[in-house]
Amino acid sequence: MALEGLASGIFNALSRLKGRRRLNEEELKDMLKSLRRALQEADFNVRQTKEITNRLEERMREEEPRPGVTIQTHAMNILYTELVRMLGPAREIRPHGATIMMVGLYGQGKTTTTAKLAEWYRRRHGVRVAVIEADVHRPGAYSQLQQLLEDSTVEVYGEPDEKDAAAIVRRGLAAHSSADVIIVDTAGRHQLDQELVVELQDMATLMNATERFLVIDAQVGQAAGPVAASFNELVDVNGVIVTKLDGTARGGGALSAVATTGAPIVYVGVGEKVSDLERFESDRFISRLLGMGDIRGLIDLAPDDLDEEEAMRLTERMMSGRFTLNDMYKQMEMMAKVGTVDRLLSFLPANMFGGMGAMGKAQKEAMQDNLERYQVIMDSMTNFEKDEPMSLKAERIRRVARGSGVKEKEVRELIAQWNRSRKMMKGMSGNRKLSKQMRAMMKSGDFDDMQNMGM
């Protein structure tokens, strides 16, 4: 996941409190010092680092943990609220009827993010999206955008030989007047210069942009602050997208610096693929960062043909203790489509499933391989067998193995896996506090005392 370094730094700092009922002065200072280092390594500036650690120190001294809450969890909860406060409230975006202008400096990820957003709105909001390539400076920008969206039904408008960006936008808007959402990709610069300023302002007026999204590479760290401020002045930025959060340790600096400019962060880019976009809501983001999980984010990952309701239903079923091979299959199907197991696990509480989030790379790869093989095996089963895996005795196992071209042993392994999953689900549903919490999380994203659940 993004900001792994920060996550493990915070975890290290707070793990010093593990098992403690009372803290002596030295232990508290020690923890704060190592937290300070973690924040600074993630490029939070000195002032913000100080502010967070001071607030934590103050509240650790003043507030008693609630009954049953360990000091470690108490500290985690305080840190959670302080970080969320620093990153600011979320902004809801309703894409229907929106005209979106993407702005930003060179190479920050504008074109890639244009494609990501288009797909996001098409898939999740079911709207008709058209994108317009209005970058007349970068050679090949139009074909780059076309390529990014070649598997999509999103319409791409461009005129590779035209030198007047505003003219492209004007004709593009006319050509796609029936689209629900229009997204315009613009040219970048090393720095905001006069030519670009005029070009962007002209376009913003011409298209009457309802959304002005600034794209910033997380790699720039704290420098994101001044960049956001200057674009904000120019086109009144109402959403910032921080990209490449997957590839840098400095992301904390970028996020916090943007937050101080007052322009809300609305999405983050977490990879080069068109699907590597996430909605940014500070509470969910921080919850995930602190290893508390983000069940609603998990639902965001659901593929096209598995809508939110179905994901909810599947979770409900898992929690209810009914768990057939079919459910497991659906779950795997969803996992496989969603992409790597790694990404999926990053949404779950770190200590859930016996710490699966902390699995090694080799283990994760093995799991990915298993998923593929299991799917093949299950394609050779009847619906009845998938509903009642207990019915899979010797003869049926032999038939399934033959049908799917695997060894009988592998079929038995799958059944054993189902059995383990079923027991785990049962354990989860038997844990009333946990299931209550899971449901509450799905509804509201409220994670208070998540850490107490012994997951």
Ligand X SMILES: Nc1nc2c(ncn2[C@@H]2O[C@H](COP(=O)(O)OP(=O)(O)OP(=O)(O)O)[C@@H](O)[C@H]2O)c(=O)[nH]1
Q: Which residues contact ligand X by CB under 6 A?
A: 104, 106-112, 135, 138, 141, 188, 243-244, 246-247, 269-272, 276
Give SS3 for 175.
helix
Q: What is the biggest distance separating any 2 CA atoms in the chain, rounded to whole angstroms?
A: 77
State how far the Cα of 266 lies from the Cα of 431, in Å rounded to an integer. 35
Binding mask 316-345 for Mg ion (x = CB under 5 A): ------------------------------
Place of tokens 């100080």: 50
Structure tokens at 421: 């999953």
Beta bridge partners, 185, equal 102, 133
- Residue 269 CB, nearest distance to ligand X (Å)? 3
**Cβ closer to ligand X: 189 or 399?**
189
Of 187, 115, 210, 125, residue with least CA distance to 154: 115
Among 77, 108, 111, 243, binds Mg ion (CB under 5 A): 111
Burial 258-285 (b: 16+ CB within 10 A, else e): bbbbebbbbbbbbbeebbbbbbbbbbbb
- Closer to ligand X by Cβ: residue 276 or 283: 276
CB 385 to ligand X: min, Å: 42
CB of 265 to ligand X, least distance (A): 13
Q: Are 233 and 208 in contact (CB under 8 A)?
A: no
247's contact among Mg ion, ligand X, none, with CB below 5 to 8 A by partner kind, is ligand X
CB of 223 to ligand X, least distance (A): 16
Tokens of 118: 């288009």
User: Would you say 130 or 141 has its CB closer to ligand X?
Assistant: 141
Number of residues assigned to the chain? 455
> With CB cut-offs between 5 and 8 Å by kind, which of Mg ion, ligand X, none does residue 270 bind?
ligand X
- Decide whether 213 or 418 has the Cβ nearer to ligand X: 213
Nearer to ligand X, 220 or 425 (CB): 220
Residue 112 near which of Mg ion, ligand X, none (CB within 5-8 Å, type-dependent): ligand X
**What gap in Å lies between CA 209 and CA 186, rounded to an integer?**
13
Q: What angle do CA 286, 5, 53 make, to 5 degrees?
A: 60
Q: In what order do the strands lie in the sheet with 129-133?
A: 155-158, 129-133, 181-185, 99-103, 211-217, 239-243, 265-269, 277-279
What helix, strand, coil percent values describe the chain, rounded to 5? 60, 10, 30
Q: How far apart are CA 318 and CA 14, in angstroms?
A: 32
CB-nearer residue toward ligand X: 108 or 421: 108
Nearer to Mg ion, 219 or 437 (CB): 219
Q: State which residue, 110 or 212, has the beta carbon closest to ligand X.
A: 110
When CB distances to Mg ion are compared, the closest residue is: 111
Residues 116, 122, 125: CA angle, nearest 5 degrees? 115
Rounded to a whole number of angstroms, the minimum distance from the CB of residue 427 to Mg ion is 49
Please state the closest distance from residue 17 (CB atom) to ligand X, in A: 34
165 closest CA partner among 146, 127, 192, 138: 138
Question: Which residue reads 């002005």 in tokens?
Answer: 212
Contact between 158 and 140 (Cβ < 8 Å): no
Q: Which of 286, 366, 249 is nearest to 5 (CA)?
A: 249
Looking at the Cβ atoms of 108 and 346, the one nearer to ligand X is 108
**Residues 443, 444, 449: CA angle, nearest 5 degrees:** 115
Nearer to ligand X by Cβ, of 278 and 294: the residue is 278
Q: Which does 72 bind (CB under 5 to 8 A by kind): Mg ion, ligand X, none?
A: none
Segment contacting Mg ion by CB under 5 A, of 107-115, 241-249, 279-287, 391-399? 107-115
108 binds Mg ion (CB under 5 A): no
Nearer to Mg ion, 220 or 332 (CB): 220
Q: How far is the CB of 141 from ligand X (least distance, A)?
A: 6
**Span from 39-47, 103-111, 372-380, 408-416 in contact with Mg ion (CB under 5 A):** 103-111
State the Cα–Cα distance between residues 326 and 240, nearest whole angstrom.
41
The site partner of 410 among ligand X, Mg ion, none (C-beta below 5 to 8 Å per kind) is: none
Stretch binding Mg ion (CB under 5 A), from 16-24, 102-110, 201-209, 240-248: 102-110
Binding window for Mg ion (CB under 5 A); candidates: 60-68, 106-114, 191-199, 403-411: 106-114
Q: Minimum Å distance from CB 206 to ligand X? A: 20
Residue with tokens 């609603």: 296
What's the min distance (Å) between Cβ of 110 and Mg ion?
Answer: 5
Q: Which of the listed partners (ligand X, Mg ion, none) does 256 bind, with a CB threshold of 5 to 8 Å by partner kind?
A: none
Contact set with Mg ion (CB under 5 A):
110-111
